[in-house]
Amino acid sequence: MLLAVDVGNTQTVFGLYEGEELGDRWRIATEAHRTGDELGALLGDFLDLGAIDGICLSSTVPRLIPEYEHLAERWARAELLVIGPGIRTGIPIEYESPREVGPDRIANAVAAKERYGSPAIVADFGTSTNFDVVSPAGAYVGGVLAPGIEISMDALFARAARLVKVDYVEPPQVIGKTTASALQSGLVYGFAGQVDGIVDAIRGELGVDAPVIGTGGLVDLIAPHSRTISAVEPFLTLHGLRIVWERNRD
């Protein structure tokens, strides 16, 4: 079995693959101070580490990479593949500084191209809202980075003393009748409008109506209110990790 691991700045997502099929998956808070032994003990509660044949890792937290190396060597006794420079992805990277591109963004582009063809746009709702673009020729050509939903709302609550945090749920209507529902409306319809505006601009630059695949922890909240998101893949990054793993087997 393959363990795919997507370490983000806020959350870490694990997924178990038997061939191409994604089985069990887990989502935990990312804690940069965790050691490899702590990760091993934690994962041991979720799965049988001895049954793991390999681990494919995408990490936006560099400090955790050696800890996952320790986890793979001592706890899982499995090969570890870390997404980064020199790894075969099967997609050309047309970016001025390829080393600056987050591994999760590359994994998203790889999965989008494999599952939906070219061109394609990925909207990933994480700590930041990332838009990653696959050109009609099938190359990763860059994208857009915008403040994410949670950090944007946290900043609003921190600056406005009379506002309180609200649940991230769909409001009953657009026009809020309470402060809480007004905030929820701004969250849902504001970010859906942001997505549509950015996608329209990207499509205009590409010269083609590329399909948009939504992913990330809050995609199910925003996607129903976006006119441009045509598919939802909550675990798109994990699928990309599996594909990259397979492309580096020979």
- Residues 159, 153: Cα–Cα separation, whole Å: 10
Cβ pair 23, 3 in contact under 8 A: no
Check: pTM over 0.75? Answer yes or no: yes
β-pair partners for 140: 93, 134
Say what the pLDDT of residue 195 is.
Answer: 97
Helices (H), 3-49: 36-44
Element (H, E) at 66: helix 65-70
pLDDT value at 164 more than 80: no
Q: Are residues 112 and 231 in the same domain?
A: yes
157 domain-assigned: yes
Q: Does residue 25 sit in the same domain as residue 130? A: no
What lies within 8 Å, CB to CB, of 100 at 6+ separation is: none
CA angle (74 as vertex; 43, 240 as ends), nearest 5: 55
Q: Is the peptide bond before 119 cis (omega within 30 degrees of 0)?
A: yes
Write out the residue range of the structural domain in which residue 203 sits.
Answer: 98-238
Which of 18, 49, 82 delimits the end of a domain?
82
Contact (CB, 8 A) for 2 and 33: no
> Are 111 and 153 within one domain?
yes
Q: Give the count of domains, the chain.
A: 2
The better pLDDT of the pair 150, 26 is held by: 26
Select the more confidently predicted residue: 162 or 92.
92
For residues 51-56, give the mean pLDDT. Answer: 95
Q: At a CB cut-off of 8 Å and minimum separation 6, what does 194 contact? A: 129, 146
* Alpha carbons 79 and 95: distance in angstroms, whole number: 29
142 lies in the same domain as 196: yes
Read off the pLDDT of residues 65-96 as tens digits, 9 standing for 90 and up.
999 999 999 999 999 999 998 899 999 999 88
Average pLDDT value for residue range 178-201: 93
Is residue 55 very low, low, confident or very high in pLDDT (cuts 50, 70, 90)?
A: very high
What value does the mean pLDDT of the chain take? 93
Report percent pLDDT > 90 for the chain. Answer: 77
Q: How far apart are CA 168 and CA 239, in angstroms?
A: 26
- State the CATH number of the domain containing residue 16: 3.30.420.40
Asked which of 23, 56, 82 is the last residue of a domain, the reply is 82
Residues 54 and 126 occupy one common structural domain:
no
- The residues carrying an active-site annotation are 104
